Amino acid sequence: MRLSATLACASQINMIEDIRELEKAGIDLLHIDIMDGNYVPNLSLNFRLCQEIKETFPNMALDIHMMVTNPLQYIKQAADIQAEWFTFHMHATHFPCRMIDAIKQSGMKAGVAINPSEPISNLLPIIAKVDMVLLMAIEPGFSGQQFMDASYERISQLNKIRQEKQLDFIINVDGGIDPVSGKKSIESGADLLVMGMFACFNQVDSIWEACMKFHQHING
């Protein structure tokens, strides 16, 4: 089980300090949302900031989640900052197979995101090609939403497909993760959880303490 943390929930003023706390807690993967204001009605981090984060924290892997209308044009920028993952929404491109090939040719791992309103079956044409499925447990674009309980069954569906087809893609769950939903997601078949404001940020405890408690709960 691997944990990541979304910088969409980190302090924009004290982000460096927040990342140091995450690193101290053993978190080695940062989930970074890139939004263009079109695919979702919001804006978030940019590649210049991502570059500075990578230079400051070279041991941190970057998981770039593209919530944009034309993800293909950003592959080179993500590769240039040595991102580990590049995740796109399938219906944001007319050529998902071409996207996956371009991502892998650039040296990154390819992820595809699926929204709560989309049936899991939509992924079947490309699921054998991806390294990760990012299952959105909330509507994309805004933090602070509650985890959708229907996500557990969707995780189980993905896990069943993986087993039946003998595939090895990672199931990553993003949105509304707290200790309870995190543990249930793992029990349903998730491999990776994106922690946000209900897990490690905006807590009474420090980020380090919140991460430790979260880790203990999901493994308890």
Q: What is the topology classification, in CATH, of domain 2-218?
A: TIM Barrel (3.20.20)
The predicted pLDDT at position 139 comes to: 87
Contact 50, 83 (CB under 8 A): yes
Q: Which two tokens stand for residue 84?
A: 């580990």
Q: Which residues of the chain have pLDDT under 50?
A: none
Q: What three-state secondary structure class fits 111?
A: strand
Q: Which two tokens stand for residue 152?
A: 């557990």
DSSP element (H, E) containing 85: strand 85-89
DSSP string covering 162-173? HHHHT---EEEE
The predicted pLDDT at position 136 comes to: 97
The predicted pLDDT at position 75 comes to: 97
The predicted pLDDT at position 84 comes to: 97
Q: What amino acid positions are annotated as catalytic residues?
A: 33, 174
